[in-house]
Amino acid sequence: DTAVSQTPKYLVTQMGNDKSIKCEQNLGHDTMYWYKQDSKKFLKIMFSYNNKELIINETVPNRFSPKSPDKAHLNLHINSLELGDSAVYFCASSLNDRIETQYFGPGTRLLVL
Amino acid sequence: GEDVEQSLFLSVREGDSSVINCTYTDSSSTYLYWYKQEPGAGLQLLTYIFSNMDMKQDQRLTVLLNKKDKHLSLRIADTQTGDSAIYFCAETESGGYNKLIFGAGTRLAVHP
């Protein structure tokens, strides 16, 4: 009964490939997020969706495209993967898009070769 | 823009208290958070404090907030080897959506 789950846990791929990471939450939350953690452990928000609508879009290359088919799911598709995309990607969710605690998934470790 | 700073490393002996410090820039942050990340794991919410509080205690954890100095600290009493992890301080960006701004994380190493 994991609250925020992500698949896959590990992803190793070649430069230039296209890949997707999936996230699901069973908390009944309205808002979901994607964060990127680089090799130095810096964590930075990428996107946020509230009830399937994009509300936060940081300065992220347009090779990254989030999609929210319903409010329990937020997927991240990455086109033309580059070496610099190697990182840990964390999904999170919160009750709504105001000041509410965010709960994080276990992360997806992406390695681009 | 908003910024959150933390010292990068802390080493303590098992049984001692650990104090992890954080400074932030956004004086209108409503909540401030502490998250814990164990090696190879995700982020676990440890505790949070509302900006109108000075202190919050939760078992071995004590959070102190000095709004004037924009300083937040996390004290772990009787530190155990299982407390070895990276501790992230985070604030919510004011005036907008629920965007967390994280510090760089403090690596806590607990040795016998």
Chain A nearest-CA distance from B89, in A, is 11
Instruction: Say which residue, A6 or A101, is predicted with more confidence.
Output: A6
Contact B61, B48 (CB under 8 A): no
Contact B22, B73 (CB under 8 A): yes
Mean model confidence pLDDT for chain B: 91
Whether the CB of B88 is below 8 Å from some CB of chain A: the reply is yes
The reply to whether residue B97 touches residue A55, judged by beta carbons under 8 angstroms, is yes
What's the mean pLDDT in A28-49? 93
Question: What is the bridge-based pairing of β-strands B106-111 and B9-13?
Answer: parallel
Whether the CB of A10 is below 8 Å from some CB of chain B: the reply is no
Q: Which chain B residue's Cα is nearest to A43?
A: B102
What is the per-residue pLDDT across B74-111, written as a single tens digit (0 to 9) for each?
A: 999 999 999 999 999 998 876 667 788 899 999 999 99
Mean model confidence pLDDT for chain A: 93
